Chain A
Amino acid sequence: AQKITQTQPGMFVQEKEAVTLDCTYDTSDQSYGLFWYKQPSSGEMIFLIYQGSYDEQNATEGRYSLNFQKARKSANLVISASQLGDSAMYFCAMKGWTDKLIFGTGTRLQVFP
């Protein structure tokens, strides 16, 4: 069975600092993908970044990067130069060889000035 674990219910970071949001996963599939989503207080789900299990390089999208450590089964999201608008819930998700996509419990990030 697949499982996603986010152990940080809440995180605080000062504006302009970097922050790492943790995500570990468990799967027996050889091919899988990992996603991160942002959910601001408005409730919409915003796709941020994707990492495939066979991708050799860590994914990056602007200020977002994914620290993918396959042997440790971790896919941490790194946000550089945090902004006040980054305050939101962040969800890690995984897709195995089927089309089923499962999510973690989320981390609430608060950015303070």
Chain B
Amino acid sequence: DVKVTQSSRYLVKRTGEKVFLECVQDMDHENMFWYRQDPGLGLRLIYFSYDVKMKEKGDIPEGYSVSREKKERFSLILESASTNQTSMYLCASRPYTGGNSPLHFGNGTRLTVT
């Protein structure tokens, strides 16, 4: 079974801190994604990665960056955390097989910025 592991379930950070959210998958998937989930807004794509060292902006990349140095790990970085980045963050992966491969999600990281 595919496992996508997010390093923290809950995280509390202060405004202005640099924050790292880590995600690791164990199935050699090429594609990895970071979403944030907010009530009434659904899941919004922040960044995704086709493969190692390859990344693409999603719909809301402002204030975030990502790193993918190894295939299994995809990190989301908040350069200077702000209160409007308080949210649930979901990492997901899928193999690059074309059309119908579903996303496999981690359990999420609930980030609170105070």
Question: How many A-B contacts if CB must be within 8 Å?
Answer: 55
Cα distance A35–B102 when bound, in Å? 8
Chain B residue numbers with a CB within 8 Å of A47 are 102-103
| B-side interface residues, number (CB < 8 Å) | 26
Asked if B100 is an interface residue, CB under 8 A from chain A, the answer is: yes
Question: A43 with B108: in contact, given A50-B102, A100-B48 (CB under 8 Å)?
Answer: yes
Q: Are B31's CB and A50's CB within 8 A? A: no
Q: Are B40's CB and A45's CB within 8 A? A: no
Chain A residue numbers with a CB within 8 Å of B64 are none
Cα distance A77–B7 when bound, in Å? 33
Chain A residue numbers with a CB within 8 Å of B107 are 43-44
A binding-site residues for B, Cβ under 8 Å: 6, 9, 31, 33, 35, 37, 43-45, 47, 50, 52, 91, 93, 95, 98-106
